[in-house]
């Protein structure tokens, strides 16, 4: 026509008809709810085979501009683990074929992280209780199908496992694996307990190498692990620590502990001064940590009084001393089966939290809150996202354009996936002053 040819921009881009530029995603850049493909990547099914699949646990990792990986424990497949790779194309995701992680091992508590270059680290235990913890590395196939991974053989990392381990991706393809280990006699008497940390590296080609193993907590029973990368070479670990014997009345509780760990060359350094939130209370439950600004994290947890709370913590970059800026801010009434926080720290954006939680017999909920310049939690609002159902498990990662890649397992064992734009997850809403 007289105006000449004009361009139409993809989701998450705007333009003048001739040039497109990247912008924070809106609801228009959000894919709807869909099952993850496994047999035919062009379809919207995540059946890893032609037979129906029943899953129980899930973990998601993202890297690069548009890459997604999903690690699932399938109950219907003798609790074996399956890995599926995906690529976000506009508002849709193209999925590759399912890959069996190991044909002989069950994969309870699957966890997954990815480096910016697409090197993968997977972790799991081989039994629900008293299992062996395993790690393995992998990389995206660069010689053929980009939606397929080349995986190494699993390596044993810990014994007597009954809690989900945690993986945190650091720089130089290094990964910290956090786990809780206990040892008992045949009669069931506890003889040893500690919180462990292994520093590993995924080398070129995908094999995983263990660089060292450490203990960040000794003599206390550790559980409910969570962690977040503070910098490319340091993390903060959140965990519950309890005495093996009944403690005397008035002794401070360490059920909301936090400790700094940093990478020094090929070694881990552990700060000797962990902190404890709400030391006057016990009965704390699940927790998660998220990075909201430079040197600032949010510790979200389920409190003893059946309330979901959050505390803002500043970490001194030199001394690693932690200072609580906002303590025990109430987010939601009622207890939850689990919760998950997504890190939103990004230059030029208002610091904010995004927390997903599953309350008993209710649809899975989410809440976004602004973090003020003084480190106070404010302007919390419920996020009306597109899953109106109860979920067994959920995991989320953030793409470089700001969208969330969210995968979850519903109560029927189906594995579902969504891309959430900014208007869905609330992280870039105008919170005001």
Q: Which two tokens stand for residue 176?
A: 């910290």
Q: Which two tokens stand for residue 34?
A: 């869909």
- pLDDT above 50: residue 39: no
- pLDDT above 80: residue 144: no
The predicted pLDDT at position 9 comes to 53
The predicted pLDDT at position 90 comes to 84
Residue 202's pLDDT band (boundaries 50, 70, 90)?
very high
Q: Buried b vs exposed e over 376-407: b needs ≥16 C-beta within 10 Å? A: ebeebeebebebeeebbbbbbbbbebbbbbbb
What is the Cα–Cα distance from 158 to 150, expressed in whole angstroms?
24
Lowest mean pLDDT of 40-44, 104-108, 347-351, 418-422, name the range. 40-44
Over range 320-346, report the average pLDDT: 90
Give CA separation, 319 vs 176, 269, 327, in Å.
21, 13, 21
The predicted pLDDT at position 426 comes to 52
Over range 412-417, report the average pLDDT: 91
What is the Cα–Cα distance from 107 to 46, expressed in whole angstroms?
18
Give CA separation, 134 vs 109, 271, 290, in Å.
11, 26, 25
Over range 197-206, report the average pLDDT: 92
3-state secondary structure of 18: coil
The model's pLDDT over 51-108, given as tens digits with 9 standing for 90+, comes to 468 999 999 999 988 999 999 999 999 999 999 999 998 888 999 999 999 999 999 9
Over range 331-338, report the average pLDDT: 89
Percentage of the chain modeled with pLDDT above 70: 83
Over range 174-179, report the average pLDDT: 98
End-to-end CA distance of the chain: 47
What is the Cα–Cα distance from 232 to 202, expressed in whole angstroms?
16
Sign of CA dihedral 53, 54, 55, 60: positive
CB atoms within 10 A of CB 333: 10
What is the Cα–Cα distance from 292 to 355, expressed in whole angstroms?
12
Which of 107, 99, 91 lies closest to 44 in space, CA to CA?
A: 91
């Amino acid at each position: 026509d007289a105006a000449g040819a004009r361009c139409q921009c993809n989701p998450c881009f705007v333009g003048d008809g001739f040039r497109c530029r990247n912008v924070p995603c809106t609801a228009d850049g959000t894919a709807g709810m869909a099952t993850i493909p496994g047999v035919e990547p062009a379809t919207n099914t995540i059946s890893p085979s032609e037979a129906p699949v029943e899953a129980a646990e899930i973990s998601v990792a993202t890297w690069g501009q548009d890459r997604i990986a999903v690690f699932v424990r399938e109950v219907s497949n003798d609790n074996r683990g399956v890995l599926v790779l995906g690529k976000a194309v506009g508002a849709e995701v193209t999925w590759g074929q399912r890959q069996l992680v190991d044909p002989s091992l069950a994969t309870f508590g699957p966890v997954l992280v990815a480096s910016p270059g697409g090197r993968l680290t997977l972790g799991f235990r081989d039994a629900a209780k008293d299992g062996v913890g395993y790690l393995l590395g992998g990389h995206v196939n660069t010689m053929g199908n980009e939606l397929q991974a080349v995986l190494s053989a699993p390596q044993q990392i810990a014994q007597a496992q009954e809690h989900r381990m945690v993986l945190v991706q650091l720089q130089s393809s290094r990964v910290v694996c956090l786990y809780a280990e206990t040892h008992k006699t045949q009669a069931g008497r506890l003889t040893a307990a500690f919180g462990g940390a292994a520093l590993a590296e995924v080398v070129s080609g995908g094999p995983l190498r263990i660089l060292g193993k450490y203990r960040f907590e000794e003599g206390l029973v550790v559980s409910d692990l969570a962690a977040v990368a503070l910098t490319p070479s340091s993390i903060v670990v959140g965990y519950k620590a309890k005495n093996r014997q009944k403690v005397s009345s008035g002794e401070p509780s360490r059920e909301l502990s936090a400790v700094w760990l940093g990478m020094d060359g090929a070694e881990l350094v552990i700060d000797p001064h962990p902190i404890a939130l709400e030391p006057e209370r016990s009965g704390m439950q699940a927790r998660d940590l998220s990075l909201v600004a430079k040197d600032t994290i949010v510790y979200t947890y389920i409190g003893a009084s059946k309330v979901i709370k959050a505390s803002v913590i500043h970490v001194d970059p030199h001394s690693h001393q932690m200072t609580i800026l906002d303590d025990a801010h109430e987010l939601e009434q009622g207890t939850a089966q689990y919760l998950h926080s997504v890190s939103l720290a990004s230059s030029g954006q208002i610091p904010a939290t995004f927390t997903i939680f599953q309350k008993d017999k209710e649809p899975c909920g989410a809440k976004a809150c602004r973090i003020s310049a003084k480190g106070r939690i404010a302007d919390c609002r419920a996020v009306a996202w597109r899953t109106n159902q109860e979920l067994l498990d959920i995991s989320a990662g953030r793409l470089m354009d700001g969208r969330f890649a969210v995968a979850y397992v519903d109560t029927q064992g189906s594995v579902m996936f969504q891309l959430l734009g900014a208007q869905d997850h609330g992280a870039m809403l105008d919170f005001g002053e």
